[in-house]
Amino acid sequence: MAVYTEVPNDALDAFLAAYDIGEVLAVKGIAEGVENSNFLLHTQAGFFILTLYEKRVQEADLPFFLALLEHLAARGLHCPQPVKNRRGAALGRLAGRPAVIVSFIDGIWVRRPDAGHCAAVGEALALLHRAGADFSMRRDNALSLAGWPPLFHAVEKRADEVMPGLAETIARELAELQRLWPADLPSGVIHADLFPDNVFFLGGKLSGLIDFYFACTDALAYDVAICLNAWCFEEDQSFNVTKGMALLNGYERVRKLGEAEIAGLPVLARGAALRFALTRLVDWLNVPPGALVKPKNPVEYVRKLRFHQNVGTSREYGLFR
């Protein structure tokens, strides 16, 4: 989440007049994250999130995201629900951007996850995968193997400004992943961005998952690899195997990983690390002037990549079977 587009008061008032959510009491931009412009709305009907879609989110993909949220919620997953206007439409336009209002999920995200948080996230991820198994729509993952070279080529000449030798490191890893990437793994709907700031806890329990705007159809184990990267490293980028074991055990309480998924997990984790290193590198070098946004340092994920390059088997992540 972030704010790239400021919304004039009169435009906001005109947009909200089409909804039955009462008078607006307060509007606040949300600075965390890097993808879309997000605002916390407080109205007479309660709290909501207003999102204006920017950058990587294509308007043609929005029906997929919105239908997915409704599908998952109908199967018991706690996630935001699109708020429809009086015409029955969830998607509108505001300040020249596609815009949606969704319900507010109560809770906070944890800055320093412990093993208990990781176990809860692993279980929630598996529940998401199970709930999405009968979702009829499909969206290819634009930020998987085929999408990484174009991202790299866009910043290749400036990559070494961020870290000496980074361009060569990425080029070499791209070639290796093209050679090693596992094929024919079980696939379905994945979140693809389940970082701590997209998971809320309340009273010590997981209260909801948010920000599904990278959701797509891809290998389920790749989603697990993304979570290992996002949840199981310490601030010094050392891997915490206790957290890894908790996350994987939590996942397997709901859905067992197959042998091919287990064997492929180290390569999938390398790919997940590279994916976020690349998108963070693009954002780091291309922050729009005046944007209320906090770009994230890509070096963190380069260091995580180095760890995964030295992993032999999934046992090193805490999967002891």
| DSSP output for 18-32 | TSSS--EEEEEE--S
Tell me whether residue 4 is in a domain: no
pLDDT at 6 over 80: no
pLDDT, tens digit, 9 for 90 and up, residues 209-226:
999 999 999 999 999 999
Q: Structural domain tally of the chain?
A: 2
Tell me whether residue 107 is in a domain: no
pLDDT on residue 288: 66
Q: Are residues 202 and 245 in the same domain?
A: yes
Residue with tokens 């998987």: 144
Tell me whether residue 67 is in a domain: yes
Q: Are residues 136 and 262 in the same domain?
A: yes
pLDDT, tens digit, 9 for 90 and up, residues 224-267:
999 999 999 999 999 999 999 999 999 999 999 999 999 999 99
Q: Are residues 286 and 138 in the same domain?
A: yes
Tell me whether residue 54 is in a domain: yes
Q: Are residues 14 and 120 in the same domain?
A: no
pLDDT at 319 over 70: yes
* Burial classification of residue 190, based on how many CB atoms lie within 10 Å of its CB (0-12 exposed, 13-18 middle, 19 or more buried): buried
Please check whether residue 221 is in contact with residue 264, taking contact to mean a CB–CB distance below 8 angstroms.
yes
Q: Are residues 32 and 166 in the same domain?
A: no
Q: Are residues 34 and 153 in the same domain?
A: no
Looking at residue 206, which CATH number applies to its domain?
3.90.1200.10
**78, 102, 126 - which closes a domain:** 102
- Which residues make beta-bridge pairs with 26? 42
Measured from the Cβ of residue 195, the count of other Cβ atoms closer than 10 Å reads: 18
Range of the domain at 210: 115-317
pLDDT, tens digit, 9 for 90 and up, residues 47-95:
999 999 886 678 899 999 999 999 999 999 999 999 999 999 999 999 8
Q: Are residues 190 and 268 in the same domain?
A: yes
Tell me whether residue 264 is in a domain: yes
Tell me whether residue 40 is in a domain: yes
Average pLDDT over residues 142-153: 96
Please check whether residue 283 is in contact with residue 296, taking contact to mean a CB–CB distance below 8 angstroms.
yes
**102, 132, 163 - which closes a domain:** 102
CA distance 255 to 257: 6
Cα-flanking dihedrals φ and ψ of residue 67, to 5°? Answer: -65, -35
Average pLDDT over residues 202-207: 95
**66, 81, 102 - which closes a domain:** 102
Q: Are residues 41 and 139 in the same domain?
A: no
Q: Are residues 68 and 148 in the same domain?
A: no
CA distance 164 to 186: 38
pLDDT on residue 1: 41
Q: Are residues 185 and 313 in the same domain?
A: yes
State how far the alpha carbon of 275 is from the alpha carbons of 38, 149, 173, 287, in Å: 23, 10, 11, 18
Angle at CA 237, nearest 5°, toward 287 and 142? Answer: 50
pLDDT on residue 36: 81
Query: How much is the pTM?
Result: 0.92
